[in-house]
């Protein structure tokens, strides 16, 4: 029995075409497990704007969801006077930001998340820092204010605390003297006046002119011999 070569070749070609069509059809109609995830993740809640005290930590909380799993979550933050963003993971739902001490510079922050399929990034309130939440930093932790720098009330009370407390407060005592007896006094007076006008000085300012009766009495009481003289007021006791 002779085999027709042409017929055999045609059968092989036909089977090859059918096999190719089969493979192409099922490879497209049955996507891989990873390819089925087309839903982006979602940030369902975040702390938002808040206030914190300098020297402490601001705790940022966030919740997010995805039809499979959120695999990446980053918190970006920076002080208001800094250009570049720092970052840390917030994948576990919380992150701490250390607030600077002795500074009232606010902190900006935002978060972005993504899933394994790369359906993100998704950000809140933005993905690039063009919008952000604000942490208002306050270093007024002891009740001080511009009008009451030692934290005491005007009536002499200590904000409800009946126990004696010791405060360290600086007082600059200016003793106006003519240039003849104090060659540096006019220079010091000019600098003190400039500082006083600025309103930015962390001490009490007292001037004791000799021509004034009360001023002269205080000079004698404090036993002042040098010009100018600094006194450190310890609250209840005067420490010279």
Predicted local confidence at residue 219, as pLDDT: 60
Greatest mean pLDDT among 131-135, 171-175, 199-203, 207-211: 131-135
Q: Mean of the per-residue pLDDT values for the chain? A: 73
Band the pLDDT of 239: cuts 50, 70, 90: very low
Is-contact 107 134, C-beta < 8 A?
yes
Identify the pLDDT of residue 139. 78
CA-CA distance, 238 to 232, in Å (whole number)? Answer: 7
- Classify residue 79 by burial, with Cβ atoms within 10 Å: 0-12, 13-18, 19+: middle
**How far, CA to CA in Å, does 27 sit from each of 15, 21, 22, 33?**
18, 10, 8, 13
Distance, in Å, from the CA atom of 209 to the CA atom of 181, rounded to the nearest integer, reads 14
Q: Which of 11-20, 51-60, 75-84 has the lowest mean pLDDT?
A: 11-20
Q: Which domains does the chain have, with CATH numbers?
A: 42-138 (2.60.40.10), 171-239 (3.40.30.10)
Mean pLDDT of 221-231: 54
pLDDT at 238: 44
- Entry field: residues in the chain: 240
pLDDT level of residue 76 (50, 70, 90 thresholds): very high
Q: Using DSSP, state whether 135 is helix, strand or coil.
A: strand
Per the model's pLDDT, the better-predicted residue between 17 and 126 turns out to be: 126
Confidence of residue 220 (pLDDT cuts 50, 70, 90): low
Q: Identify the residue with better confidence: 88 or 208.
A: 88
| pLDDT of amino acid 235 | 44
DSSP 142: T
CA dihedral 152, 153, 158, 164 (to 10 degrees): 60
What percent of the chain shows pLDDT beyond 90? 29
pLDDT in tens, 98-110: 998 887 889 999 9
Whether the full predicted model's pTM is greater than 0.75, yes or no, is no
Q: Given this model, what pLDDT does residue 151 score?
A: 47
3-state helix, strand, coil in the chain (%, to 5): 20, 30, 50
SS3 assignment, position 197: helix
């Amino acid at each position: 029995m002779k085999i027709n070569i042409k017929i055999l070749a045609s059968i092989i070609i036909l089977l090859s075409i059918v096999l190719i069509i089969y493979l192409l059809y099922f490879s497209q109609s049955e996507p891989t497990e990873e390819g089925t995830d087309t839903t982006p993740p979602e940030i369902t809640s975040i702390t938002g704007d808040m206030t914190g005290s300098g020297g402490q930590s601001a705790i940022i909380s966030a919740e997010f969801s995805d039809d499979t799993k959120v695999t990446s979550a980053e918190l970006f933050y920076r002080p208001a006077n800094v250009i570049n963003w720092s970052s840390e993971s917030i994948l576990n739902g919380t992150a701490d930001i250390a607030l600077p001490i002795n500074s009232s510079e606010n902190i900006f922050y935002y978060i972005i998340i993504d899933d394994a399929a790369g359906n993100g990034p998704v950000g809140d309130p933005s993905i690039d820092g063009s919008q952000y939440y604000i942490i208002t930093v306050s270093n007024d932790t002891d009740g001080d204010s511009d009008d009451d720098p030692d934290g005491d009330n005007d009536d002499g009370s200590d904000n409800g605390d009946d126990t004696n407390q010791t405060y360290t407060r600086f007082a600059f005592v200016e003793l106006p003297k003519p240039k003849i007896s104090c060659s540096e006094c006019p220079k010091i007076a000019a600098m003190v006046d400039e500082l006083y006008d600025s309103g930015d000085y962390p001490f009490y300012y007292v001037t004791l002119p000799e021509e004034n009766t009360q001023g002269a009495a205080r000079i004698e009481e404090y036993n002042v011999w040098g010009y100018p003289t600094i006194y450190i007021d310890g609250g209840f006791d005067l420490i010279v």
